[in-house]
Amino acid sequence: MNISDRVIVMAEGRVIADGKPNSIYENQAVIDAYLGTRKASK
């Protein structure tokens, strides 16, 4: 990512991730906070 060398992600007023963009893409806390979890259909 050429826009930023470092990313800080916040959720509910607290930092949940801090690091290089590539590590943020794979961070489970970020995925859970912003994308949620997949639930199986019944």
Which pairs with CB-CB distance under 8 Å and at least 24 residues apart come from 33-41? 33/9, 34/9
Angle at 30 between CA 37 and CA 26, to 5 degrees: 90
pLDDT score at 41: 62
For 8-33, what is each residue's pLDDT tens digit?
Answer: 999 999 999 999 999 998 999 999 99
Rounded CA-CA distance 26/31 in Å is 8
Going by pLDDT thresholds of 50, 70 and 90, the confidence category of residue 40 is: low
Q: Could you give the number of structural domains in the chain?
A: 1
Rounded CA-CA distance 35/31 in Å is 5
* Residue span of the structural domain in which 39 resides: 1-42
What's the pTM value of the predicted model, to 2 decimals? 0.73
Torsion over CA: 12, 18, 6, 27 (sign): negative
